[in-house]
Structure 1
């Protein structure tokens, strides 16, 4: 079936002028022309038009779209998949906005004066979420204040407890502070489903968005307090297995590069999911980085490594909050073996 330019424009919601422009710049040329010179479009042309319109929705220029469509192995299914992801994100945002509007309506119906500033801040945060997370990410992150299933209230209560502890001068190394840190990390693992990639995105948003820090109360000082208490909870375990000198070295270095581990583990998780061979150059580089971070706090003494290995074999808490699971660890060990290393649980984070 062949469509004239006017028919195609009407069917797809574009103007004839737009289709003429696409033809003039070589972006969408009709496959045929009638005896009288009318442009005629067939199925392949319509499929290409779909690709063009889909890419336009991603904010690409016509020149950029032309370059992409010139790629020989362009997959239409991939374009449709991206469209579906974008649509899912819009649906999630619309549902969240409807939830907020319903709450506002209930307040107004009861004659209550809503806190419009807070409400507008919430809408601002919803837009902020879209900068960092995909629609699928948002479905997997209940800690974000998006809908009625959110655990944001639970987090707010914990933040208040931590704020109170800090205000009263509770030492981050105290047993009480360690308990708060364990609860915090446990909730974080739970609400990110143990996915380090979500953790990295969440961290980026918390660091890069002052509005988020103000809204949630999760300031850099609170994060540092939790990290210090959590590190201390791990050190108390290592202390049982190390000599005084070994433990002194670990105390001086353990936790210093805590911010470097999540991106590393997230990258490895992605390669694992993508079935990247452990011998691949990118995995070899990540394995070297892993070893470097490990040795930065454990040193190079094989005897110390053996003691740490013993601790990891009988102390599962040492893996708590690391976002490292057995499949990921085995994958890293395979990559280390390619480097000529002798990987052991002592080389886990």
Structure 2
């Protein structure tokens, strides 16, 4: 057992396949290293305390809005027989909530990594995702697992609900992704219901769009494998048109996409549920990424991040989680 240990995780962005993934189509999601969560667990003289942006105090007094974190933490305390251990759990997050970036999953991943690091126990990826799911089931009811899989990954995730959850290799050494926060909370339940109603009421229009979004994801996987960022940009624009036609974009997101493309983006689209949240734009190089970021902030983005792809790592057959510090 250590005196102190830290676990880290990352924001997730759905690059391709939002909404269509609900209907069995594939999706590609990526971890965003520049937007992270850090959980630090350390011994203290007495008590079991937790500190985060929503709560400061004893774990036993956490409110119901943090029931997922409380339940996960208590499960880990029992798992390691640490009921009598005095500790402080500090969670620092750069993720905005309700923006489709996987805040709850990233928090859960960081907490699990901190506990396993503290008790110096190896943590497999399968164990990590199973434990994170304790929190996610409370927070989201019936999570697909995409958020946790991506928040814990070193590489993009190729995901088909209830079928495939695997890391995929790619090489984009000079490209970057610009993420812009619209400042509008995403409306996940409203957007999901809207898509469902469209499929029921106008299946001749909605179903082909869902299928096309799945085909776009397949094409994007091929473009990633062949380092074809120009094609990726075109696929992003096509995806945005389909999502807008399905009704989950809005004027702000449409404007951000247009501004990005007017400022050298190869392509741009909303990410996540839509009706708010974030827009992502693909830049050819770092200079273009800076120009896109500045233009989006001038257009009203409350925050922007730039994610370079050059430091992404991948190791086939990775057995153990490698982000426990």
The interval holding the TM-score normalised by the smaller chain is: under 0.3
Q: TM-score, normalised by structure 2?
A: 0.24
Name the structure with the higher strand share.
2
Q: TM-score scaled to structure 1, two decimals?
A: 0.23
Larger-Rg structure: 1
Task: Say which structure, 1 or 2, has more relative contact order (CA 8 Å, 6+ apart).
Answer: 2
Question: Greater helix percent: which structure?
Answer: 1
